[in-house]
Amino acid sequence: MKYSPHTSKDKEQMLEAIGAASEEELFSAIPSDLRLGKVDLPDGISEMELKRSVMEMAGDNYSTNKLISFLGGGAYEHYIPQAVESIISRGEFLTAYTPYQAEASQGTLQSIYEYQSLICELTGMDVANASMYDGASSLAEAALLAVRDTGRKQVVYPASLHPEYKQVLKTYMEGIKVEFIEIPHAAGIYDTEVLERQISDGTACVIAQNPNFFGCIEDCSAIGQICHSKGAIFIACVNPLSLGLLSSPGEYGADIAVGEGQPLGIPLSYGGPYLGFFAVKEKYMRKIPGRVVGMTRDSEGKPGFVLTLQAREQHIRREKATSNICSNEGLMALAATVYLSLIGKKGLKEIARQNLLKSHYLAVQISKLGGFEPVFNTPFFNEFVVKCGRDPEKIISDLLKHGIIGGLPLGRFYPDMRNCMSICVTETKSRADLDKFVEVLGKH
């Protein structure tokens, strides 16, 4: 299958216009010993053959459509209204590029402005950018901002921060001499006594995740106060859907709010593409990475949108840029914008409530079973950790035979929690699903 339209007649005419004898001549700058005879790949195939071949491969995948999944851990199965896909698959959005020519990109630009506004409303912050790659890299960039802005070297984060986020944080900051301080958890949440002792005038930022990796809800006001007492920057990493119920970063005094936007109308897609959001208090407006859209007027006084604050970005500041980000997650930000518009003010609260109530119902039912015990006696949103009577990995593989993905065994992340697994319940699970899970679990 080829997508270029040229016939041999076209090519002949074009070569003549160029004044070249053959296409080969056009490649004369490449030394002959670097020219391939042929790439070592099979021949191309038709669309029909492609579909058949891929469908065969797909047959070895058992998705959350077919299996009842209780997996969370940073990627969440929420119902995505069909209208989201209908909008983002429109060619005018899908195949447009970065809106550098603003007059020809008002659709993209206005939707980004709306996205920025929605993130600010959700998080209670003043300014948001047009997106980052994912929650983890967004968090890493927030920490970089804090280190640069304060000139301090210490980054404080909790043991209950998502383990993959910890890794990304460390990888991103490899090139800078930073001291990481991990604060242990007490009953599943920040040990604020230890935090108070560890924080100092050398602390650039304190990171809190809410809900944290265990699903527990943190007292971010308290954490924020301790953080600010030493003049450090408070970074809140939050689940945007939980903000239908939980206190927002703006309400508890966060300076920067970041997180994973995947719960907002973006499919699981085996890990990506996802959506990092990044929002700050006005004070840090000029320090934020990434693109920002602003409203302005055209030469006739009509309102319109443009990319602005560009002088911070890589295409202008180059090595002095606030970040290296260029392409971000534009279409995913659009998906989140459409999703939030569809569910609206009331829908956000409703969905969050159903997540809360269903997960608590399941937690109660599971704890009635022998051999399963909730680990933390702390308020949680839609995820909780249970201690199992036997190896969770074995439980998972037994459950799989019943068409259930039971949960996330935590041993690979926390060696002292080898007999624990994390269970997540979203609004997608019916009571029948929950009761079935409990029944099957009871037999194992």
Partner 1 sequence: MADTGKLLFAKTHEWLRVEGNIGYVGITDHAQKEITDVVFVELPKVGKEVSKEGEAAVVESVKAAFSIYAPVSGRVIKANDAVEKDPSIVNKSPYDDGWFFAIEMKDPEETASLMSLKDYEEFIKSGAH
Partner 2 sequence: MEKLIFETGSEGRNGCSLPKLDVPDAAESSFIPGNLLRRKEALLPEVSELDCIRHFTRLSRLNYSVDTNFYPLGSCTMKYNPRINEKIASLPQFSALHPYQPESSVQGMLKLLYDTEQMLCRICGMDAFTLQPAAGAHGELTGMLIARAYHVSKGDPRKKVLIPDSAHGTNPASAALCGYEVVTVKSGPDGRIDIGALKDAAGQDVAVMMLTNPNTLGLFEKDIKKIADIIHGSGALLYLDGANMNALAGVSRPGDMGFDICHVNLHKTFSTPHGGGGPGSGPVGVKAALADYLPAPRIKIKRNKFTLDSDCKKSIGKVKAFYGNIGVVIKAYCYIRSLGGEGLRDAAFEAVLNANYLKAKLRGNYTPAFDGEPCMHEFVLTGKDKKPMGVRTLDIAKRLLDYGYYAPTIYFPLIVEEAIMIEPTETESKQTLDAFADVMIKIAGEAASDPSLVTSAPHTTPVRRLDEVAAARELNLRWKKTGA
Helix, strand, or coil (residue 380): strand
295 touches partner 1 by CB under 8 A:
no
- Of 61-69, 152-160, 190-198, 199-207, which segment contacts partner 2 by CB under 8 A? 61-69
Of the pair 43, 416, the CB lying nearest partner 2 is at 43
42 touches partner 2 by CB under 8 A:
yes
Rounded to whole angstroms, the Cα distance separating 296 from 168 reads: 37
**Cis amide leading into 273 (omega within 30):** yes
Site for partner 2 in 283-342 (CB under 8 A): 285, 291-300, 302-306, 308-311, 313-321, 323-334, 337-338, 340-342
Site for partner 1 in 275-294 (CB under 8 A): 286
Of the pair 51, 317, the CB lying nearest partner 1 is at 317
The 8-class DSSP code of residue 189 comes to E
Rounded to whole angstroms, the Cα distance separating 138 from 135 reads: 5
Q: Report, in Å, the least distance between residue 426 CB and partner 2.
A: 11
Helix, strand, or coil (residue 399): helix
Rounded to whole angstroms, the Cα distance separating 328 from 350 reads: 30
382 touches partner 2 by CB under 8 A:
no
8 contact, one of partner 2, partner 1, none, CB 5-8 Å limit per kind: none
Q: What is the CA radius of gyration of the chain?
A: 25
Beta bridge partners of 235: 207, 256
- Of 58-66, 150-158, 198-206, 231-239, which segment contacts partner 2 by CB under 8 A? 58-66
Site for partner 2 in 342-371 (CB under 8 A): 342-351, 353-354, 356-358, 360-361
Q: Give how many residues touch partner 1 by CB under 8 A.
A: 8
Tokens of 313: 């970005």
311 touches partner 1 by CB under 8 A:
yes
Specify the amino acid at residue 434.
L
Q: Contact 256/280 with Cβ under 8 angstroms? A: yes
38 touches partner 1 by CB under 8 A:
no
Q: Report, in Å, the least distance between residue 315 CB and partner 1.
A: 9
Closest to 434 (Cα-Cα) out of 391, 382, 378: 382
Cα dist from 46 to 1, 2, 16, whole Å? 5, 9, 31
Q: Report, in Å, the least distance between residue 49 CB and partner 2.
A: 9
Of the pair 233, 356, the CB lying nearest partner 2 is at 356
The answer to whether the Cα torsion of 39, 43, 47, 53 is positive or negative is negative
122 touches partner 2 by CB under 8 A:
yes
Q: Contact 156/230 with Cβ under 8 angstroms? A: no
165 touches partner 2 by CB under 8 A:
yes
Residues in contact with partner 1 by CB under 8 A are 286, 308, 310-312, 316-317, 320
